[in-house]
Amino acid sequence: MEFWGIEVKAGQPIKTGPGVNRVIHLSQATLGESKNKAESVPLYVNVDGKKLVLGTLSHQNFPQLNLDLVFEQEFELSHNWKNGSVYFLGYETSVQEEGYPFYYF
């Protein structure tokens, strides 16, 4: 198990993904520094051409968001905040050949 983290800057979506026989467990999203504390920042993930909202961050109410998502393929992280970066944290780990985390019968 290895720490995994990425900074998504304003207007720069990032594609990332695990290596062969690995998964990324996304566990937290956090707002970077900002002078404008009143904005809400929606977070997005794009997997297989489907763009989904992970949640919304706010410096005043929710500066970080706990997540429990596992990705076994490439995905794209983005946000629409023009004044700063969002940091995504988690870990990357290897998986058994049978499939993660379930066995298929």
Q: Give the per-residue pLDDT at 73.
A: 95
22-61 pLDDT tens trace? 999 999 999 998 877 788 999 999 999 999 999 999 999 9
Q: Is the pLDDT of residue 97 over 80?
A: no
Q: How is the chain classified by DSSP, letter by letter?
A: -EEEEEEE-TT--EEE---TTEEEEEEEEEE---S-TT-EEEEEEEETTEEEEEEEEETTTBSEEEEEEEESS-EEEEE--SS--EEEEEEEEE--TT-SS----
The class of domain 2-94 in CATH terms is mainly beta
pLDDT of residue 96: 73
